[in-house]
Amino acid sequence: MERMEKYMSVKMEIPSEDALRSAVLNGRIKPRTATDAAVTGCAREEVKDFAQKISDDMGLGFNLGNTFDAVIKPDSPVKGLDIETAWHNPKTTRGMIAAIREGGFKTLRLPVSWHNHVSGPQDTVEPEWMDRIEEVVNWCMEEGMYVILNTHHDIYPGFLLPDNDNIDRSSEFMRNIWMQIARRFRQHSEEKLLFESMNEIRVHGADYEWTPDYDNKDCIDAMRNVNTLNQVFVDTVRSEGYKNSERCLIIPGYSTSTEGVCWDGFTLPQDTIPGRLFVAAHMYSPAHFAFFLKEGANLLTFDIDDPASTDPIDERLTKLYDKFVANGIPVALDEFGTVDKENDPERVKYLAYTLAKATQLGIRCCYWDNGVFFRYGDGMAIFDRKDLSFPRREPVDAMLRGIRVFDDDSVS
C-alpha cells in the first residue's frame, strides 16, 4: 500500500516535445545514411514497400507479457488453459484488450509459448489452446489493432535450441508449430496479423548466451542455425497459402539482440514475395538503468541531455536504422522497457526519449508489460489488468509524446 501511495503521489514530468526534439537531434551518434541531422522518421519514400507502410501505421505497441508465454515444469499440476494464469496474471478478457487500445496502443504483441501444449510426433497443439489464442487475436482485431503472434519461451531441449546438437529437432518443431498456426490463421488479415518466428533464441548457459561472441565458433554456428530456423519459418508459413502468402513476417537474430541482427552473417530468409519481412530486436539499454543488476552500479536517474544516458540507446537504434530501415526493411523493437527501482519520474523520461529517438529513425516499439507492479528490480507494469486501467497516465503519455515529436500521424 505504501508503494502504491508513493507511485500515485510522486510528481512525474514528461519532457516537452521541443526538449525531446532538441535532445534527439543534438545526440552525438548520427545515422551514417542520413542526409542531414533530421531523419525523416521512416524509410525513404522511394524504397517503401508493403511492410514499411504497415510499420508506419503501427504506432505504439504493448506486450501482453507473462500470460500466454508462461511455462511450467512437466510435473506441475497446472495444465492446459490454466497455464495462462500460472505466472499470476489474471485471465485475459475482451475488456482488457479494449482498455489497452483505448489507452493509446495500436499494436499488441501476443507472446505465446507452445511446447507445454503439444503432443505426438507432429507436435500437435491442444485444440483448446489454439482456440484460446485465436479468441484473443480476434478481440484485438475487433479493436482495429495490429497483432504480433510468436513462439516465445519454447527454448528447451527437445523443442527449440540453435546449437548444432539440436538444430534438426528444432527445425522439425519450428515446421510443425508454424504449420498449425499458419493454417489456423490463414484467413486472418494479412495486414493486421503479423507472425514473429522466435523470441530470444539462444544457447542457455553459454558465455555468449545473451551477447554474441563473433570469435567463438560454437556461437557462430548457433547464429547461422538461427538463419536456418528463420528460413524454415518463412517457408512453412508461405506454404499454407491463403493470406499467409502475403502476410508480414518478423525475423529476429540470435537472442533477438541488436548484435544478433547487425552481425555480418545474419541473413533475411528468402521469400516468395518481396517487401513482407521485418527485422526484430529487443533493447533494454542502458542496462544499468533498464535492469536491476546484481553486480555493478545500478543507475536510478535518466537525463535526456546527458550522453551517458542517451548514447547506449542512440547507438543501438542507429545501427538498426543504418542496416535495415534506411534500406527499406522495417524494424520492430518489439520489447523494451525499464524495471521498477522506485524511480518512476526517471522512467518516464526514459520512455519519452526512447520513443522519440526510435520514431525519428522509423522504428516501431512495443513496451514490455509483465503485469507486475511495485516489485523492486522486476516490476514493469503500467497497466492494471484487474482494474482495466492505467493507474498513472504519464508512462503512456510520455511514449505517445515521444512518437508525436517526429510522427504525429501514427498516434490515434
In the structure, what pLDDT confidence band is assigned to residue 3 with cuts at 50, 70 and 90? confident
Residue 169 neighbours by CB distance under 10 Å: 14
For 304-351, write each residue's pLDDT tens digit: 999 999 999 999 999 999 999 999 999 999 999 999 999 999 999 999
Does the pLDDT at position 40 exceed 70? no
Residues identified as active-site: 152, 200, 335
Output the pLDDT for position 358.
98
pLDDT tens digits, residue range 353-389? 999 999 999 999 999 999 999 888 889 999 999 999 9
Coil, helix or strand at residue 249: strand
Q: How far apart are CA 379 and CA 200, in angstroms?
A: 20
Position 67 pLDDT exceeds 90: yes
Residues 149, 170: Cα–Cα separation, whole Å: 19
Residue 411's alpha-carbon distances to 14, 38, 373, in angstroms, are 17, 20, 26
Residues 6+ apart with CB under 8 A from 212: 219, 223, 254, 255, 257, 259, 260, 263
Contacts of residue 82, Cβ cutoff 8 Å, sequence gap at least 6 = none
> pLDDT for 214-271, tens place per residue?
999 999 999 999 999 999 999 999 999 999 999 999 999 999 999 999 999 999 999 9
Strand 277-283 relative to strand 146-150: parallel, antiparallel, unpaired? unpaired
| Cβ 360 vs Cβ 41: under 8 Å | yes
pLDDT value for 410: 67
What is the pLDDT of the chain when averaged over all its residues? 94
Does residue 64 contact residue 92 with C-beta atoms inside 8 Å? yes
In this predicted structure, the answer to whether residue 1 has a pLDDT above a threshold of 70 is: no
The overall longest dimension of the chain from CA atoms, in Å, is: 59
The pLDDT, as a whole number, for residue 4 is 82
Q: Are 279 and 251 in contact (CB under 8 A)?
A: yes
Looking at domain 2-410, its CATH class is: alpha beta
In the chain, where the domains are located? 2-410
Whether residue 297 is predicted with pLDDT greater than 80 in this model: the reply is: no
| 33 CB-near residues (< 8 Å, 6+ apart) | 321, 322, 326
Tens of pLDDT, residues 140-198: 999 999 999 999 999 999 999 999 999 999 999 999 999 999 999 999 999 999 999 99
How far, in Å, CA of 104 to CA of 187, rounded?
Answer: 27
User: Does the structure show a pLDDT above 90 at 39?
Assistant: no
| pLDDT > 70 in the chain, percent | 95
Residues above pLDDT 90, as percent of the chain:
89
How far apart (Å, rounded) are the C-alpha atoms in residues 254 and 225? 9
Apex 278 CA angle, 359 and 108, nearest 5: 70
Run of H or E including 231: helix 217-239
Q: What is the dihedral of CA 327, 329, 334, 338, to 10 degrees?
A: 0
Q: Point out which residues pair with 125 in neighbouring strands.
A: 118
| pLDDT score recorded for residue 167 | 98
User: What pLDDT score was predicted for residue 38?
Assistant: 40
Confidence of residue 48 (pLDDT cuts 50, 70, 90): low
What distance in Å separates the CA atoms of residue 110 and residue 24, rounded to the nearest whole number?
30
